[in-house]
Amino acid sequence: MKIATWNINGLRARLSVVQRWLDARQPDIVGLQELKLADNAFPVEVFVESGYHAVFHGQKSWNGVAILSKTPLVMTRRELPGQTTFGARLITATIGDLSFTTVYCPNGKALDHADYERKLAWFDSLIGLLEDECDREQPLILCGDFNVVPAAIDSWNETRFKDDIFHTEAERHRLQRILDWGLVDLFRQQHQTVQAFSWWDYRAGAFHRNHGLRIDLLLGTPPVAARLRHIEIDREYRKKQAGLTASDHAPVVADLE
């Protein structure tokens, strides 16, 4: 089974790129983030034609998450308790015996911005959801754009950005609490010393200079981690495809037994 996560930075603008990627890579389950469109604009029929069922939680012009699956899925949660004012950022579905959640975690903007403290509170709510409603002994995947750089190796310049947004101890502490609850960073399970990134700014040639951050994660409970065969960041789809502008994020794709 092939699973993936991808912040597409606007589904309306990136739909053709997503279709090309689905046709080329044939993932079984995908978490998408930053749809930037309302539910009534979600292109269900396009994904049906590509062989996917879909559940989605959209928001006009901002945020938005979706799950695509080749097999039927049942949506079980469409928001994070207590955090609805922060927008459409979480969706959960059951696919067979697998619980699959994708998230678009708040950016935080800057340490002196009100959204930074709200970001930390959002993470606290996510940790509470795991503790109150989830079972680490069962197959569960939590994936998406976390807007946190897990460790120094995941930043192109930790020295420059240490203690700045995405790199703070408070953000990393909350991500570590998520892992400590019972989740495994699947990329780091297989690539313990590899420096690789999933996001690059559009500006200043950041992608070509490999000035990026690893902020898009596939996390799984031990029953999922035990099935991991291979995981990679699909850099090819951070590049233009047939003249189509790519997202500033690359998909993260894992093969499970």
Write down the catalytic residue from 39, 52, 97, 104: 104
Strand spans (E) along the chain:
2-7, 29-33, 53-57, 65-69, 74-77, 90-95, 98-104, 140-145, 184-185, 199-200, 212-213, 216-220, 228-233, 252-256
**Residue 211: Cβ within 10 Å count:** 16
145 is annotated as an active-site residue = yes
b/e string for 23-34 if b means 16 or more Cβ within 10 A?
Answer: eeeebbbbbbbb
* CA within 13 Å, CB half, 131: 10
Q: Which of 21, 28, 84, 93 is nearest to 55 (CA)?
A: 93
202 is annotated as an active-site residue = no
CA distances from 112 to 16, 34, 115, 118, 119 (A): 38, 24, 9, 12, 12
**Residue 173: Cβ within 10 Å count:** 12
Write down the catalytic residue from 116, 145, 237, 248: 145
**Residue 234: Cβ within 10 Å count:** 17
- 177 beta partners: none
Report the distance separating Cα 252 and Cα 236, nearest Å.
11
Task: Please tell me whether residue 32 adopts helix, strand or coil conformation.
Answer: strand
Report the distance separating Cα 254 and Cα 225, nearest Å.
10
Pairing of strands 184-185, 216-220: antiparallel
Catalytic residues: 104, 145
